[in-house]
Amino acid sequence: MDWYRSKVKDSLKMICTLCDSKLVHKIDEYYYDCDTCKAIVKDERYYLTSEEERERYETHNNDVNDIRYQNFTSPITNYVLDHFLPEHKGLDFGSGTGPVISSELSKRGYRIVQYDPFFAPNESVLKNRYDYIVSCEVFEHFYKPKKEIGHLASMLKTDGALLIMTLLYNDQMDFSKWFYRKDPTHVFIYTKETIEYIARQHKLDIDVLTDRFIALRKLS
């Protein structure tokens, strides 16, 4: 799957990578805001290379036995434990160097597989359908969110859940000083309105929507 890569286009003609709207308003040197889906989209001229991305991800110290990391990811883990049974099939999409959610669920007998383009590149798992898909600190790295989110939604079974952790932006925040904006691998930033747009486009029900954790259910 072509997860992160995208051909660089003339930034003056850049379109939103989620909704295909023309991007005309830059909020700073690096980012546009989209009038349609209300996302904040990085200028493609500033995308990292695949090698630069991998090097940055390899610096992440994600120890699955670190209680702080377990607590950080607990909104997703707890949702799965509360809404699904061990025999349900799960996918950890973008599992990274330390798949803590998979580790915590597997300890409890849950069936969950991992996919990551750098660290678990088994694309065969992307051909199956799942009762739940978890994706922690991944969505902000999507170079092609329209394609990737569409694929994830298509892999969900009826009444399945897409469980996302990403930090949402709102107008009360100082974007120029926001740590999320300063990460060079963050190319697509969501607002609550962006999540609502995604839910409408893919006929998903919003079960949970906070500034950090989102649960979307596929009802049909």
Q: What is 128-171 written as a DSSP string?
A: S-EEEEEEES-GGG-SSHHHHHHHHHHTEEEEEEEEEE-PPP-T
Confidence of residue 2 (pLDDT cuts 50, 70, 90): very low
In the predicted structure, residue 163 carries a pLDDT above the cut 70: yes
Q: Which of 142, 55, 52, 145 is nearest to 97 (CA)?
A: 55
Summarised one tens digit per residue, pLDDT across range 11-65 is 456 999 999 999 999 999 999 999 999 999 999 999 999 999 999 888 876 788 8
pLDDT given for residue 12 in this prediction: 54
Q: If you count them, how many residues does the chain have?
A: 220
Q: What domains lie within the chain, and their CATH numbers?
A: 11-218 (3.40.50.150)
Task: Look up tokens 């190319």; give the residue.
Answer: 187
Q: Is the full-model pTM beyond 0.95? A: no
